Amino acid sequence: MGYETRLLIDGELVEGEGAGVEVENPATEETVATVGSASAGQLDSAVEAARRAAVTWAAMPGVDRTPLLRSVADALRSRTEELASIMTTEIGRPLTESRDEVEWCAACFDYYAEVARSEIGRVIPPIESSQFAVVVKEPHGVVGCIVPWNFPLLLLCWKLAPALAAGNTAVCKPSELTPLSTLALADVFAELPAGTVNLVAGAGETGAAISAHPGIDCIAFTGSVETGRNVGIACASRNARVNLEMGGKDPFIVCSDIGRDGVGIAARGGAWAAFLNAGQVCTSSERFYVMEDVFDDYVAAFVAHTQSLIVGDPLDPKTDVGPMVSAGQRKKAVDQVEAAVAAGAEVLIGGGGAGMSKGHYLEPCVLTGVPEDAALLTEETFGPVAPIVPVKDLDQAIERANSLDFGLGANIYTRDLQTAIRCLKEVRAGSVWINDPLTDNDAGPFGGFKNSGIGRELGTEGLDAFREAKHVHMDSVIEVKDWWYPYG
Protein backbone atom coordinates (compact mmCIF):
# COMPACT_ATOMS: atom_id res chain seq x y z
CA MET A 1 0.00 0.00 0.00
CA GLY A 2 1.32 3.47 -0.90
CA TYR A 3 1.08 6.01 1.90
CA GLU A 4 0.78 9.78 1.64
CA THR A 5 3.97 11.12 3.18
CA ARG A 6 3.67 14.74 2.07
CA LEU A 7 2.80 17.64 4.35
CA LEU A 8 -0.21 19.89 3.72
CA ILE A 9 0.84 23.54 3.69
CA ASP A 10 -1.44 26.29 2.37
CA GLY A 11 -3.53 23.76 0.47
CA GLU A 12 -0.50 22.22 -1.29
CA LEU A 13 1.06 18.81 -0.70
CA VAL A 14 4.82 19.13 -0.26
CA GLU A 15 7.61 16.77 0.76
CA GLY A 16 9.01 17.54 4.22
CA GLU A 17 12.49 19.02 3.85
CA GLY A 18 13.66 18.17 7.38
CA ALA A 19 14.96 14.92 8.88
CA GLY A 20 13.30 11.72 7.69
CA VAL A 21 11.24 9.80 10.25
CA GLU A 22 10.78 6.06 9.72
CA VAL A 23 7.36 4.63 10.48
CA GLU A 24 7.30 1.06 11.78
CA ASN A 25 4.49 -1.49 11.62
CA PRO A 26 4.53 -2.77 15.22
CA ALA A 27 3.05 -6.14 14.20
CA THR A 28 5.84 -6.94 11.72
CA GLU A 29 8.61 -4.57 12.83
CA GLU A 30 8.99 -3.53 9.17
CA THR A 31 9.49 0.09 8.13
CA VAL A 32 6.43 0.94 6.07
CA ALA A 33 7.29 4.53 5.11
CA THR A 34 9.68 7.38 5.73
CA VAL A 35 8.22 10.83 6.31
CA GLY A 36 10.22 14.04 5.92
CA SER A 37 9.80 16.40 8.89
CA ALA A 38 8.82 20.02 8.33
CA SER A 39 11.90 22.24 8.07
CA ALA A 40 11.91 25.50 10.05
CA GLY A 41 11.04 27.36 6.83
CA GLN A 42 8.15 24.98 6.10
CA LEU A 43 6.79 25.45 9.60
CA ASP A 44 6.94 29.23 9.09
CA SER A 45 5.09 28.82 5.77
CA ALA A 46 2.40 26.72 7.45
CA VAL A 47 1.94 29.31 10.21
CA GLU A 48 1.82 32.18 7.69
CA ALA A 49 -0.77 30.31 5.61
CA ALA A 50 -2.86 29.70 8.72
CA ARG A 51 -2.62 33.39 9.68
CA ARG A 52 -3.78 34.49 6.22
CA ALA A 53 -6.63 31.98 6.23
CA ALA A 54 -7.66 33.05 9.73
CA VAL A 55 -8.80 36.45 8.50
CA THR A 56 -11.65 35.11 6.35
CA TRP A 57 -12.32 31.99 8.40
CA ALA A 58 -12.83 33.99 11.60
CA ALA A 59 -15.13 36.44 9.84
CA MET A 60 -17.32 33.69 8.36
CA PRO A 61 -20.68 33.34 10.13
CA GLY A 62 -20.95 30.09 12.08
CA VAL A 63 -23.86 28.98 9.95
CA ASP A 64 -21.61 29.08 6.87
CA ARG A 65 -18.90 27.08 8.60
CA THR A 66 -21.40 24.35 9.50
CA PRO A 67 -21.63 22.69 6.05
CA LEU A 68 -17.86 22.88 5.67
CA LEU A 69 -17.33 21.11 8.99
CA ARG A 70 -19.98 18.58 7.99
CA SER A 71 -18.06 17.97 4.76
CA VAL A 72 -15.09 16.93 6.91
CA ALA A 73 -17.29 14.47 8.84
CA ASP A 74 -18.68 13.03 5.58
CA ALA A 75 -15.22 12.70 4.05
CA LEU A 76 -13.93 10.94 7.16
CA ARG A 77 -16.80 8.44 7.09
CA SER A 78 -16.39 7.78 3.37
CA ARG A 79 -12.75 6.83 3.97
CA THR A 80 -13.28 4.72 7.08
CA GLU A 81 -11.68 1.53 5.75
CA GLU A 82 -8.60 3.28 4.36
CA LEU A 83 -7.98 5.40 7.47
CA ALA A 84 -8.64 2.46 9.81
CA SER A 85 -6.21 0.30 7.90
CA ILE A 86 -3.48 2.97 8.05
CA MET A 87 -3.97 3.42 11.81
CA THR A 88 -3.82 -0.32 12.39
CA THR A 89 -0.62 -0.49 10.35
CA GLU A 90 1.13 2.24 12.34
CA ILE A 91 -0.30 1.55 15.85
CA GLY A 92 -0.89 -2.21 15.73
CA ARG A 93 -4.37 -2.11 17.18
CA PRO A 94 -7.24 -4.31 15.91
CA LEU A 95 -9.11 -2.98 12.87
CA THR A 96 -12.41 -2.87 14.79
CA GLU A 97 -10.94 -0.32 17.18
CA SER A 98 -9.47 1.73 14.32
CA ARG A 99 -12.83 1.80 12.50
CA ASP A 100 -14.50 3.00 15.69
CA GLU A 101 -11.96 5.78 15.95
CA VAL A 102 -12.81 7.11 12.48
CA GLU A 103 -16.52 7.18 13.35
CA TRP A 104 -15.80 9.03 16.63
CA CYS A 105 -13.80 11.61 14.63
CA ALA A 106 -16.70 12.17 12.24
CA ALA A 107 -19.16 12.42 15.13
CA CYS A 108 -16.98 15.08 16.77
CA PHE A 109 -17.05 17.21 13.60
CA ASP A 110 -20.83 16.73 13.34
CA TYR A 111 -21.25 17.85 16.94
CA TYR A 112 -19.15 21.02 16.68
CA ALA A 113 -20.63 21.88 13.25
CA GLU A 114 -23.93 22.43 15.10
CA VAL A 115 -22.80 23.61 18.53
CA ALA A 116 -20.64 26.40 17.19
CA ARG A 117 -23.42 28.03 15.21
CA SER A 118 -25.78 28.21 18.16
CA GLU A 119 -23.99 30.90 20.22
CA ILE A 120 -20.95 33.14 20.21
CA GLY A 121 -21.39 34.50 23.70
CA ARG A 122 -24.17 35.72 25.97
CA VAL A 123 -26.14 38.75 27.00
CA ILE A 124 -25.50 39.90 30.56
CA PRO A 125 -27.48 42.31 32.77
CA PRO A 126 -26.22 45.90 32.39
CA ILE A 127 -25.50 48.04 35.41
CA GLU A 128 -27.73 50.95 34.28
CA SER A 129 -31.04 50.89 32.45
CA SER A 130 -29.69 52.85 29.46
CA GLN A 131 -27.02 50.24 28.83
CA PHE A 132 -26.65 46.96 26.99
CA ALA A 133 -23.91 44.46 27.75
CA VAL A 134 -22.77 41.29 26.04
CA VAL A 135 -19.96 38.77 26.17
CA VAL A 136 -18.60 37.98 22.71
CA LYS A 137 -16.52 34.82 22.21
CA GLU A 138 -13.85 35.27 19.56
CA PRO A 139 -11.31 32.85 18.09
CA HIS A 140 -7.70 33.01 19.30
CA GLY A 141 -6.31 33.01 15.75
CA VAL A 142 -3.96 30.13 14.89
CA VAL A 143 -4.01 26.97 16.99
CA GLY A 144 -1.10 24.51 17.11
CA CYS A 145 -2.34 20.95 17.64
CA ILE A 146 0.26 18.51 19.01
CA VAL A 147 -0.95 14.94 19.21
CA PRO A 148 0.31 11.56 20.57
CA TRP A 149 0.26 8.20 18.76
CA ASN A 150 -2.34 6.23 20.69
CA PHE A 151 -5.47 7.79 19.08
CA PRO A 152 -3.85 9.88 16.35
CA LEU A 153 -6.99 10.97 14.51
CA LEU A 154 -9.42 11.19 17.42
CA LEU A 155 -7.16 13.34 19.57
CA LEU A 156 -6.51 15.55 16.56
CA CYS A 157 -10.25 15.92 15.87
CA TRP A 158 -11.02 16.70 19.53
CA LYS A 159 -8.82 19.77 19.00
CA LEU A 160 -9.38 20.60 15.38
CA ALA A 161 -13.17 20.39 15.24
CA PRO A 162 -13.80 22.86 18.11
CA ALA A 163 -10.88 25.08 17.08
CA LEU A 164 -12.23 25.42 13.52
CA ALA A 165 -15.81 25.71 14.72
CA ALA A 166 -14.75 28.62 16.93
CA GLY A 167 -13.17 30.36 13.92
CA ASN A 168 -9.50 29.46 14.36
CA THR A 169 -7.19 27.99 11.76
CA ALA A 170 -4.62 25.33 12.59
CA VAL A 171 -1.17 23.84 12.22
CA CYS A 172 -1.24 20.19 13.27
CA LYS A 173 1.55 17.79 14.17
CA PRO A 174 1.01 14.05 14.71
CA SER A 175 3.40 11.86 16.70
CA GLU A 176 6.53 10.75 14.92
CA LEU A 177 5.33 7.15 15.48
CA THR A 178 2.03 7.64 13.64
CA PRO A 179 2.19 10.41 11.02
CA LEU A 180 0.63 8.44 8.14
CA SER A 181 -3.03 8.52 9.19
CA THR A 182 -2.83 12.29 9.77
CA LEU A 183 -1.07 13.04 6.47
CA ALA A 184 -3.74 10.92 4.73
CA LEU A 185 -6.32 13.52 5.81
CA ALA A 186 -5.36 16.24 3.30
CA ASP A 187 -8.35 15.46 1.02
CA VAL A 188 -10.70 15.42 3.98
CA PHE A 189 -10.24 19.19 4.29
CA ALA A 190 -10.61 19.80 0.53
CA GLU A 191 -13.70 22.02 0.91
CA LEU A 192 -12.09 24.31 3.47
CA PRO A 193 -10.21 27.37 2.21
CA ALA A 194 -6.49 26.74 1.59
CA GLY A 195 -4.39 27.27 4.73
CA THR A 196 -7.26 26.67 7.16
CA VAL A 197 -5.77 23.32 8.17
CA ASN A 198 -2.06 22.66 7.74
CA LEU A 199 -0.52 19.26 8.47
CA VAL A 200 3.18 19.02 9.31
CA ALA A 201 5.30 16.12 10.53
CA GLY A 202 8.26 15.73 12.85
CA ALA A 203 9.33 14.61 16.31
CA GLY A 204 9.78 16.51 19.57
CA GLU A 205 11.86 19.27 18.00
CA THR A 206 9.04 20.16 15.62
CA GLY A 207 6.59 20.08 18.53
CA ALA A 208 8.85 22.40 20.52
CA ALA A 209 9.12 24.75 17.51
CA ILE A 210 5.32 24.86 17.27
CA SER A 211 4.98 25.58 21.02
CA ALA A 212 7.48 28.42 20.76
CA HIS A 213 6.29 29.89 17.45
CA PRO A 214 5.25 33.53 17.85
CA GLY A 215 2.70 33.16 15.04
CA ILE A 216 0.74 30.51 16.95
CA ASP A 217 -1.71 31.93 19.48
CA CYS A 218 -2.83 28.77 21.25
CA ILE A 219 -1.42 25.29 21.74
CA ALA A 220 -3.65 22.28 22.21
CA PHE A 221 -1.51 19.38 23.39
CA THR A 222 -2.07 15.75 24.28
CA GLY A 223 0.77 13.55 25.46
CA SER A 224 2.87 12.68 28.48
CA VAL A 225 3.07 14.73 31.68
CA GLU A 226 6.72 15.52 31.08
CA THR A 227 6.22 16.84 27.53
CA GLY A 228 3.05 18.64 28.55
CA ARG A 229 4.93 20.48 31.28
CA ASN A 230 7.53 21.61 28.71
CA VAL A 231 4.81 22.76 26.34
CA GLY A 232 3.13 24.63 29.19
CA ILE A 233 6.39 26.37 30.09
CA ALA A 234 7.01 27.34 26.44
CA CYS A 235 3.51 28.81 26.22
CA ALA A 236 3.74 30.59 29.57
CA SER A 237 7.00 32.24 28.53
CA ARG A 238 5.19 34.01 25.68
CA ASN A 239 1.70 34.11 27.24
CA ALA A 240 0.21 31.90 24.55
CA ARG A 241 -3.05 30.14 25.37
CA VAL A 242 -2.64 26.45 26.20
CA ASN A 243 -4.71 23.35 26.78
CA LEU A 244 -2.90 20.28 28.16
CA GLU A 245 -4.22 16.72 28.16
CA MET A 246 -1.68 14.46 29.85
CA GLY A 247 -1.15 11.04 31.38
CA GLY A 248 -3.15 9.05 33.87
CA LYS A 249 -3.22 6.06 36.19
CA ASP A 250 -6.92 5.38 36.36
CA PRO A 251 -8.42 3.42 39.27
CA PHE A 252 -11.21 0.87 38.85
CA ILE A 253 -13.25 0.23 41.99
CA VAL A 254 -15.41 -2.87 42.36
CA CYS A 255 -17.89 -2.84 45.24
CA SER A 256 -19.22 -5.94 46.94
CA ASP A 257 -22.86 -4.85 46.46
CA ILE A 258 -22.82 -5.79 42.76
CA GLY A 259 -23.53 -9.45 43.43
CA ARG A 260 -22.41 -12.57 41.57
CA ASP A 261 -23.71 -11.53 38.13
CA GLY A 262 -22.23 -8.11 38.62
CA VAL A 263 -18.79 -9.50 39.44
CA GLY A 264 -18.66 -11.33 36.09
CA ILE A 265 -19.74 -8.23 34.20
CA ALA A 266 -17.33 -5.95 36.08
CA ALA A 267 -14.52 -8.41 35.31
CA ARG A 268 -15.26 -8.25 31.58
CA GLY A 269 -15.63 -4.47 31.73
CA GLY A 270 -12.37 -4.25 33.67
CA ALA A 271 -10.49 -6.41 31.18
CA TRP A 272 -11.72 -4.25 28.31
CA ALA A 273 -10.82 -1.07 30.19
CA ALA A 274 -7.32 -2.43 30.88
CA PHE A 275 -6.52 -4.07 27.54
CA LEU A 276 -8.26 -1.88 24.92
CA ASN A 277 -5.64 -0.68 22.41
CA ALA A 278 -3.18 -2.97 24.24
CA GLY A 279 -3.62 -0.84 27.37
CA GLN A 280 -2.39 2.24 25.56
CA VAL A 281 -5.33 4.51 26.32
CA CYS A 282 -4.82 7.57 28.50
CA THR A 283 -7.84 6.38 30.47
CA SER A 284 -6.79 2.73 30.60
CA SER A 285 -7.71 1.20 33.95
CA GLU A 286 -4.34 0.54 35.56
CA ARG A 287 -5.24 -0.07 39.24
CA PHE A 288 -8.09 -2.34 40.33
CA TYR A 289 -9.37 -1.89 43.88
CA VAL A 290 -11.78 -4.71 44.67
CA MET A 291 -13.61 -5.17 47.97
CA GLU A 292 -12.38 -8.15 49.93
CA ASP A 293 -15.58 -10.18 49.98
CA VAL A 294 -15.76 -10.32 46.15
CA PHE A 295 -12.01 -10.23 45.53
CA ASP A 296 -11.42 -13.95 44.85
CA ASP A 297 -14.46 -14.25 42.57
CA TYR A 298 -13.48 -11.09 40.73
CA VAL A 299 -9.89 -12.20 40.15
CA ALA A 300 -11.04 -15.64 38.97
CA ALA A 301 -13.54 -14.11 36.50
CA PHE A 302 -10.97 -11.58 35.28
CA VAL A 303 -8.33 -14.26 34.65
CA ALA A 304 -10.82 -16.58 32.92
CA HIS A 305 -11.95 -13.79 30.62
CA THR A 306 -8.37 -12.73 29.89
CA GLN A 307 -7.60 -16.34 28.95
CA SER A 308 -10.32 -16.18 26.29
CA LEU A 309 -8.89 -13.10 24.53
CA ILE A 310 -7.26 -13.59 21.14
CA VAL A 311 -3.88 -11.90 20.86
CA GLY A 312 -2.47 -11.66 17.37
CA ASP A 313 -2.47 -10.06 13.93
CA PRO A 314 -4.41 -6.80 14.25
CA LEU A 315 -5.69 -7.19 10.68
CA ASP A 316 -7.42 -10.48 11.58
CA PRO A 317 -11.06 -9.64 12.47
CA LYS A 318 -11.01 -12.18 15.32
CA THR A 319 -8.11 -10.47 17.12
CA ASP A 320 -8.94 -8.76 20.41
CA VAL A 321 -5.51 -7.45 21.33
CA GLY A 322 -2.71 -6.55 18.91
CA PRO A 323 0.92 -5.63 19.57
CA MET A 324 2.05 -2.58 21.51
CA VAL A 325 3.16 0.40 19.45
CA SER A 326 6.92 0.10 19.94
CA ALA A 327 9.71 -1.87 21.56
CA GLY A 328 10.23 1.01 24.00
CA GLN A 329 6.61 1.07 25.20
CA ARG A 330 6.64 -2.73 25.60
CA LYS A 331 9.87 -2.61 27.60
CA LYS A 332 8.48 0.03 29.96
CA ALA A 333 5.45 -2.15 30.77
CA VAL A 334 7.54 -5.34 31.12
CA ASP A 335 10.03 -3.56 33.40
CA GLN A 336 7.20 -2.49 35.71
CA VAL A 337 5.80 -6.05 35.82
CA GLU A 338 9.23 -7.53 36.52
CA ALA A 339 9.94 -5.01 39.29
CA ALA A 340 6.55 -5.80 40.89
CA VAL A 341 7.26 -9.54 40.74
CA ALA A 342 10.69 -9.00 42.28
CA ALA A 343 8.91 -7.16 45.11
CA GLY A 344 6.52 -10.05 45.74
CA ALA A 345 3.70 -9.79 43.16
CA GLU A 346 2.31 -12.85 41.41
CA VAL A 347 1.52 -12.97 37.68
CA LEU A 348 -1.71 -14.97 37.31
CA ILE A 349 -1.77 -14.88 33.52
CA GLY A 350 0.01 -13.24 30.58
CA GLY A 351 3.12 -11.13 30.35
CA GLY A 352 4.72 -13.13 27.55
CA GLY A 353 5.09 -12.47 23.84
CA ALA A 354 2.05 -14.52 22.74
CA GLY A 355 4.35 -16.89 20.84
CA MET A 356 4.84 -14.39 18.04
CA SER A 357 8.25 -14.37 16.36
CA LYS A 358 7.93 -10.70 15.34
CA GLY A 359 6.06 -7.72 16.70
CA HIS A 360 5.84 -5.92 20.03
CA TYR A 361 3.29 -8.30 21.50
CA LEU A 362 2.62 -8.41 25.22
CA GLU A 363 -0.03 -10.88 26.35
CA PRO A 364 -2.59 -9.23 28.63
CA CYS A 365 -1.26 -9.67 32.11
CA VAL A 366 -3.11 -9.93 35.43
CA LEU A 367 -1.29 -9.67 38.77
CA THR A 368 -2.11 -9.78 42.45
CA GLY A 369 0.05 -9.05 45.47
CA VAL A 370 1.60 -5.90 43.96
CA PRO A 371 3.09 -3.75 46.75
CA GLU A 372 1.35 -0.40 47.15
CA ASP A 373 4.49 1.58 46.32
CA ALA A 374 5.43 -0.41 43.19
CA ALA A 375 5.68 1.58 39.94
CA LEU A 376 2.95 -0.69 38.60
CA LEU A 377 0.53 0.96 41.04
CA THR A 378 1.96 4.48 41.09
CA GLU A 379 3.29 5.36 37.59
CA GLU A 380 1.61 5.25 34.21
CA THR A 381 2.17 1.81 32.62
CA PHE A 382 0.51 2.29 29.22
CA GLY A 383 0.40 -1.43 28.50
CA PRO A 384 -2.03 -4.38 28.83
CA VAL A 385 -1.42 -4.98 32.53
CA ALA A 386 -4.04 -5.24 35.28
CA PRO A 387 -2.86 -5.27 38.92
CA ILE A 388 -5.78 -6.24 41.19
CA VAL A 389 -5.66 -5.13 44.82
CA PRO A 390 -8.07 -6.02 47.66
CA VAL A 391 -9.57 -3.16 49.69
CA LYS A 392 -11.54 -3.52 52.91
CA ASP A 393 -14.21 -0.89 52.26
CA LEU A 394 -15.25 2.15 50.23
CA ASP A 395 -13.23 4.54 52.38
CA GLN A 396 -10.06 2.66 51.55
CA ALA A 397 -10.98 2.36 47.85
CA ILE A 398 -11.55 6.13 47.53
CA GLU A 399 -8.43 6.92 49.55
CA ARG A 400 -6.32 4.71 47.24
CA ALA A 401 -8.02 6.07 44.10
CA ASN A 402 -7.14 9.64 45.14
CA SER A 403 -3.65 8.84 46.41
CA LEU A 404 -1.69 9.73 43.25
CA ASP A 405 -0.93 12.99 41.46
CA PHE A 406 -2.98 11.82 38.46
CA GLY A 407 -6.68 12.45 37.99
CA LEU A 408 -7.81 11.65 34.46
CA GLY A 409 -10.57 9.05 34.76
CA ALA A 410 -11.99 6.64 37.33
CA ASN A 411 -14.38 3.68 37.14
CA ILE A 412 -16.73 2.35 39.78
CA TYR A 413 -19.00 -0.70 39.72
CA THR A 414 -21.82 -0.49 42.23
CA ARG A 415 -25.59 -0.91 42.43
CA ASP A 416 -25.81 1.23 45.55
CA LEU A 417 -26.98 4.82 45.07
CA GLN A 418 -25.20 6.14 48.15
CA THR A 419 -21.92 4.60 47.00
CA ALA A 420 -22.35 6.01 43.50
CA ILE A 421 -23.04 9.51 44.80
CA ARG A 422 -20.13 9.36 47.25
CA CYS A 423 -17.77 8.28 44.48
CA LEU A 424 -18.90 10.86 41.94
CA LYS A 425 -18.38 13.58 44.55
CA GLU A 426 -15.21 12.36 46.25
CA VAL A 427 -13.14 10.76 43.47
CA ARG A 428 -10.81 13.42 42.06
CA ALA A 429 -10.85 12.75 38.32
CA GLY A 430 -12.01 14.53 35.17
CA SER A 431 -14.24 11.62 34.15
CA VAL A 432 -16.04 9.34 36.59
CA TRP A 433 -17.68 6.33 34.95
CA ILE A 434 -20.16 4.35 37.00
CA ASN A 435 -20.98 0.87 35.62
CA ASP A 436 -19.87 1.72 32.04
CA PRO A 437 -16.10 2.06 31.69
CA LEU A 438 -14.37 4.55 29.40
CA THR A 439 -17.42 5.87 27.54
CA ASP A 440 -16.85 9.37 26.16
CA ASN A 441 -19.53 11.77 25.01
CA ASP A 442 -18.84 14.63 22.58
CA ALA A 443 -21.20 16.80 24.63
CA GLY A 444 -19.34 16.22 27.92
CA PRO A 445 -15.93 17.65 28.86
CA PHE A 446 -12.86 15.42 28.83
CA GLY A 447 -9.66 16.20 30.73
CA GLY A 448 -7.72 15.74 33.88
CA PHE A 449 -7.38 16.88 37.47
CA LYS A 450 -3.89 17.34 38.98
CA ASN A 451 -1.00 16.23 36.73
CA SER A 452 -3.38 14.78 34.17
CA GLY A 453 -4.19 18.09 32.56
CA ILE A 454 -5.10 21.74 32.43
CA GLY A 455 -8.26 22.64 30.54
CA ARG A 456 -10.85 20.44 28.88
CA GLU A 457 -11.63 19.04 25.43
CA LEU A 458 -15.14 18.26 24.11
CA GLY A 459 -18.43 19.79 25.16
CA THR A 460 -18.93 23.54 25.37
CA GLU A 461 -15.87 23.61 27.66
CA GLY A 462 -13.83 22.25 24.74
CA LEU A 463 -15.17 24.99 22.47
CA ASP A 464 -14.33 27.69 25.01
CA ALA A 465 -10.74 26.42 25.07
CA PHE A 466 -10.46 27.95 21.61
CA ARG A 467 -12.31 31.20 22.28
CA GLU A 468 -11.34 34.44 23.96
CA ALA A 469 -14.12 36.20 25.91
CA LYS A 470 -14.66 39.89 25.21
CA HIS A 471 -16.92 42.00 27.42
CA VAL A 472 -18.77 44.66 25.39
CA HIS A 473 -20.48 47.43 27.38
CA MET A 474 -22.69 49.99 25.56
CA ASP A 475 -24.56 53.04 26.78
CA SER A 476 -27.31 54.53 24.63
CA VAL A 477 -26.98 57.86 26.44
CA ILE A 478 -23.97 60.15 26.15
CA GLU A 479 -23.74 61.96 29.50
CA VAL A 480 -21.33 62.96 32.22
CA LYS A 481 -21.42 60.23 34.88
CA ASP A 482 -21.82 61.34 38.49
CA TRP A 483 -18.94 59.07 39.64
CA TRP A 484 -16.37 60.98 37.50
CA TYR A 485 -14.22 63.89 38.77
CA PRO A 486 -14.56 66.07 40.67
CA TYR A 487 -15.23 64.02 43.84
CA GLY A 488 -15.64 67.06 46.10
97 part of the interface to ligand NAD, by CB under 6 A: no
CB of 151 to ligand NAD, least distance (A): 6
157 part of the interface to ligand NAD, by CB under 6 A: no
Tell me which residues in 413-432 interact with ligand NAD (CB under 6 A).
none
**CB of 299 or CB of 324, closer to ligand NAD:** 324
**CB of 25 or CB of 211, closer to ligand NAD:** 211
**Residue sitting closest to ligand NAD (CB):** 207
152 part of the interface to ligand NAD, by CB under 6 A: no
282 catalytically annotated: yes
**CB of 206 or CB of 419, closer to ligand NAD:** 206
Q: Which residues contact 383 (CB under 8 A, 6 or more apart)?
A: 278, 279, 280, 324, 329, 330, 332, 333, 334, 336, 362
286 part of the interface to ligand NAD, by CB under 6 A: no
Q: Of residues 28, 71, 96, 230, which one binds ligand NAD by CB under 6 A?
A: 230
324 part of the interface to ligand NAD, by CB under 6 A: no
Tell me which residues in 446-475 interact with ligand NAD (CB under 6 A).
448, 452-453
**Which residue out of 145, 282, 365, 423 is catalytically annotated?**
282
365 catalytically annotated: no
402 part of the interface to ligand NAD, by CB under 6 A: no
The C-alpha atoms of residue 359 and residue 352 are separated, in whole angstroms, by 12
Chain centroid to Cα 12, Å, comes to 28
37 part of the interface to ligand NAD, by CB under 6 A: no
Under a CB-based contact definition with an 8 Å cutoff, are residues 196 and 222 in contact?
A: no
23 part of the interface to ligand NAD, by CB under 6 A: no
Tell me which residues in 195-224 interact with ligand NAD (CB under 6 A).
203-204, 207-208, 211, 222-224
CB of 369 to ligand NAD, least distance (A): 26
170 part of the interface to ligand NAD, by CB under 6 A: no
Tell me which residues in 171-190 interact with ligand NAD (CB under 6 A).
173, 175-176
**Which residue out of 4, 176, 245, 457 is catalytically annotated?**
245
231 part of the interface to ligand NAD, by CB under 6 A: yes
CA angle at 36 for the pair 197 and 93, rounded to the nearest 5°: 75
User: Which sequence positions are flagged as catalytic?
Assistant: 245, 282
Binding site for ligand NAD (CB under 6 A): 146-150, 155, 173, 175-176, 203-204, 207-208, 211, 222-224, 227, 230-231, 245-248, 282, 380, 382, 408, 448, 452-453
